[in-house]
Amino acid sequence: MVMDHKYKSLESLRAGLSVVVYPIQLSIELPGSISGWFSESLSSRRSLQEDNESLRTQHMMQEVQLQKLAALEAENIRLRELLDSSFKVGEKVLIAELLSVNLDPYKHQIVINKGEANDIYQGQPLLDASGVMGQIVHAGPYTSTAILITDTSHAIPVQVNRNGLRTIALGSGTINRLELPYIPNNADIKPGDLLITSGLGGHFPPGYPVAEVAAVQHDPGHAFSRVAATPLAELNRSREVLLVWPGKTTVLDNTEMTLEPETTVLDNTETTLEPETTVLDNTETTLEPETTEADQASTDTASPTDKAETDAAVTEDGE
């Protein structure tokens, strides 16, 4: 051992023995290595599966939230459009949501979540952000039923915005079509004309957009043309509607109206200034007699010589 430690004489023998012993060591350690590798592989696969499942769940939840955010964004856009439409209308308005739609193909009716508790009344106009949708036909305590303008039993007085031509638009039973059966053949109407409410009948105030003329067919054998129009309102897609109280203005309009009496007061102030000016005129007028009296006084106080000269001139004129 001393010689091996000092001169490394057994180094070659030790290297040879290590080569011989290595397979034995490898065979001894192999089961443990295989077992550790297998257990590690199983645990890694299990953890990967768990991580995959967790990520998949998170992805699904995020997809659902993204869909909800998209729906909220679309709803926000619709509400903004309705709000902008309410400002354009300039009258008392209320936003309502659809509860159900009548599934009868021959009836175009909807149910909204507002009723008599919200001052809803029969015949009240119903709008969306694009145009007229219909009117209330039944108002319950908390819900109301509305008929759409495309229902076969609905008619609305309209006029052509371009020239004021008045007529009646009837529901055709098709969600995207209105009929105008009472247009004479020689009437000035063409595709693309905007139809607005005329205000006749008392239900719909004038000026609301209703539809756009889609087709005009002149038939010489009949007294009236065949005119079809497309509603501007999204009758089959709107989720929110706008209820209008004709003749009732919003708070903003009332504020503007309260400023008018103040302007009138100013006008009255200006009016009250006019009598003061008249008084000055009267003062000037009363000064004129004073001037006349002064002239008369100066005449009375004239010298006798002046009077004699005046009398002599009068006598000469008489002769």
Query: What confidence tier does 260 reach under pLDDT thresholds 50, 70, 90?
Result: very low
* Nearest 10 degrees: Cα torsion 100, 103, 107, 110: 10
How many Cα neighbours within 13 Å face the side chain of 22? Answer: 7
Segment 222-231 shows an average pLDDT of 93
Q: Find tokens 């319950």 and name the residue.
A: 140
Take residue 203 and report the two structure tokens written for it: 């239900």
d(C-alpha 128, C-alpha 209), whole Å: 10
Segment 133-139 shows an average pLDDT of 95
d(C-alpha 181, C-alpha 115), whole Å: 34
| φ/ψ of residue 250, rounded to 5 | -80, 175
d(C-alpha 2, C-alpha 148), whole Å: 113
For residue 303, the model assigns a pLDDT of 45
One-letter amino acid for residue 4 of the chain: D
Bigger pLDDT: 32 vs 93: 93
User: Of the candidates 189, 214, 199, 188, which has an alpha carbon nearest to the alpha carbon of residue 156?
Assistant: 199
Bigger pLDDT: 19 vs 171: 171
User: Of the candidates 134, 127, 168, which has an alpha carbon nearest to the alpha carbon of residue 148?
Assistant: 134
d(C-alpha 317, C-alpha 41), whole Å: 154
Take residue 233 and report the two structure tokens written for it: 């309102």
Segment 219-241 shows an average pLDDT of 90
Predicted TM-score of the model (pTM): 0.56
User: Of the candidates 84, 108, 85, which has an alpha carbon nearest to the alpha carbon of residue 98?
Assistant: 108
**Rg of the chain's alpha carbons, rounded to an integer?**
49
Segment 151-178 shows an average pLDDT of 94
Check whether 275 has a pLDDT greater than 70.
no
User: Taking all residues of the chain, what is their mean pLDDT, rounded to a whole number?
Assistant: 74
Q: What are the beta bridge partners of residue 160?
A: 195
Bridge-based pairing state of the strands 109-112 and 91-101: antiparallel
For residue 53, the model assigns a pLDDT of 80
Take residue 202 and report the two structure tokens written for it: 């008392």
Q: Give residue-wise pLDDT tens across range 72-127.
A: 777 777 777 777 766 666 667 889 999 999 988 889 999 999 999 999 999 999 99
Bigger pLDDT: 216 vs 78: 216
Bigger pLDDT: 181 vs 282: 181
- Residues in CB range of 157: below 8 A, 6 or more apart: 166, 167, 168, 169, 197, 198, 199, 200, 201, 204
Query: What confidence tier does 8 reach under pLDDT thresholds 50, 70, 90?
Result: low
3-state DSSP assignment of residue 1: coil
Instruction: Check if the beta carbon of residue 177 is closer than 8 Å to that of residue 228.
Output: yes
Instruction: Check if the beta carbon of residue 230 is closer than 8 Å to that of residue 204.
Output: no
| φ/ψ of residue 33, rounded to 5 | -65, -45
Segment 302-319 shows an average pLDDT of 46
Check whether 177 has a pLDDT greater than 70.
yes
DSSP string, 27-79: HHHHHHHHHHHHHHHHHHHHHHHHHHHHHHHHHHHHHHHHHHHHHHHHHHHHH
DSSP string, 171-225: E-SSTT-EEEEEEETTS---TTPEEEE--TTSSS-TT-EEEEEEEEE--TTSSEE
For residue 222, the model assigns a pLDDT of 87
For residue 245, the model assigns a pLDDT of 87
